[in-house]
Structure 1
Amino acid sequence: MMQKDILKQVGLRIRDLRKERGWSQEALGERGGFHYSYIGQIERGEKNISLLNLVKIAEALEVSVPQLFAYLEDGGKVSGSEADLQEIVRTLRTKKPQQVRIARNIVRELVSDTYEA
């Protein structure tokens, strides 16, 4: 993979994560402490972002740093399972802790070896 390609792939991933949240570049910039034009340059693959800034962006997006590299392994596409998991996480982020625990228990029950459909 060429060096510019990795910048574009990470930039696309950041853009997609930002858009999933319904945020503007300005909103992400505010959350991470950056100017919106810098976010735009990152998303277009024009900036070679530092590791420290990458961590700030991941924290602002509430994802892990490795999640920013998800597109590198699969050519820019998120698998159906990954998209489903992301939707579940987005939904649970807005719920109360008790609701999250209930959802966790339901998932555990569904995937346990004793569950039969």
Structure 2
Amino acid sequence: MKITVQRSGGVAAITRVWTVDAATSEDKQRWMPIVEACPWDQVPSRGRASAQAAARAPGKAAGQADRFMYSIRAGQHRATLPETELTGPWHTLVENAKVEGHETLRR
């Protein structure tokens, strides 16, 4: 299972991407509970609206200038959330990916 967290927006408008490749059975056993704890089907509608606004003006979502947007992919799951919605299991998933993933920068 491949897990990708992309953070865009912010003052510098640099996109950072963290990628985890949970390939071994041990990796999958560790990551699956973290991924499945996230409410993929319950992404708040304002999160979707913020994602659409960010697509038009990155970093300017929902009237909150220079906030980060997070696009998260894990296997077949997809979600885009503003940083203000990055709580609970979402926060756990993103922080673990930042610590254990391979990071790349995009301008």
By the TM > 0.5 criterion, same fold? no
Q: Which has the higher strand share?
A: 2
Structure with more relative contact order (C-alpha pairs < 8 Å, separation 6 or more)? 2
> TM-score by structure 1 length?
0.27
Larger helix percent: 1
Q: Which protein shows a greater Rg?
A: 1
